[in-house]
Amino acid sequence: MKDPYDILGVSRSASADDIRKAYRKLAKQSHPDLNPGDKDAESRFKEASAAYDLLSDSEKRRRFDAGEIDEQGAERQREHYYRDFAGGANADPRYYTASGFADFGDADDVLAELFARAGRRRRGGDLHFRLRVNFLDAVNGGKERVTLPDGRTVDITIPPGAEEGQVLRLRGQGEAAPQQGEAGDALIELSVAAHPLFERRGHDIVLELPITLAEAVAGAKVKTPTVHGAVMLAVPKNSSSGAVLRLRGKGVRRSDGSFGDQLVKLKLVLPPTPDAELEAFANSWSGRADYQPRKDWP
């Protein structure tokens, strides 16, 4: 141990009052419980306390000054500080208070999200459910009234553009807190049912549109379903099977409020059974030089 006067930063002639002041100043900066994040605090505090114990006792100080005792063995024995029990995962909820950061949970930012998750430890448990929603409700949004396993009925708002596996959080609808904390949340994982016509690809909707030979050759306005209702789609003259037409803005709503597109893939469909007249007509057509659909093949 260093010289106790050096540790406290006082002269050998310092008064008891000076020594006390010097110690209090050091203790404020080094007491482990007043500086819970400072790992070195404990050793500095021990040193300062030992020096103070020696110099604050006038008899011990006199004997030290006279060289009768040295600075050894004066350290206080202390197994633990309060900080060793507080704030960790096993911290006692009796002394817990959110009053230092409760307002973070109100803001809509990264910290709020982190604190909301951190605070959840002391709240009631979250309950997990799965909800199957139909395709169009997931695309356009909707309301669903569901009965939870414990008998409560809740109205769930499905946001437009909801995706497979998306989790909706119903605040406070989970388990009650063990003590006076907030109830947990109900977490509802969505599973989106398939649609007979539409297929979702990100924010676009894909639809296969069957067309007749006449529509493919001559072009036509064809009534085409979209997730927002039917529209008349102009199929251009001379459209081949597999051609894709784009209906802008007829897809799924994005979080920024814009919409994806609907992609319409044409599918030329011949009559269900062979037709003699059509066969004769096709054979009678002389064709033309540039009509070679496989000409690019290697």
Q: Binding of another protein at residue 29 (CB under 8 A)?
A: no
CB of 254 to another protein, least distance (A): 24
CB of 188 to another protein, least distance (A): 20
Q: Binding of another protein at residue 109 (CB under 8 A)?
A: no
Please, what sign has the CA dihedral across residues 97, 100, 102, 108?
A: negative
145 strand-pairing partners: 155
Q: Binding of another protein at residue 39 (CB under 8 A)?
A: no
Rule CB under 8 A: choose which of 97, 153, 240, 273 binds another protein.
97
Q: Binding of another protein at residue 154 (CB under 8 A)?
A: no
CB of 96 to another protein, least distance (A): 5
Q: Binding of another protein at residue 34 (CB under 8 A)?
A: yes
Contact, 234 vs 246, CB < 8 A?
Answer: no
Q: Binding of another protein at residue 123 (CB under 8 A)?
A: no
Applying CB under 8 A, the span of 78-86, 151-159, 181-189, 290-298 interacting with another protein comes to 78-86
Q: Binding of another protein at residue 86 (CB under 8 A)?
A: yes
Q: Binding of another protein at residue 128 (CB under 8 A)?
A: no
Q: Binding of another protein at residue 103 (CB under 8 A)?
A: no
CB of 27 to another protein, least distance (A): 6
Which parts of this chain interact with another protein (CB under 8 A)? 20, 23-24, 27-28, 31, 33-34, 36-37, 49, 52, 78, 80-89, 91-92, 94-101, 114-115, 117-119, 121, 179
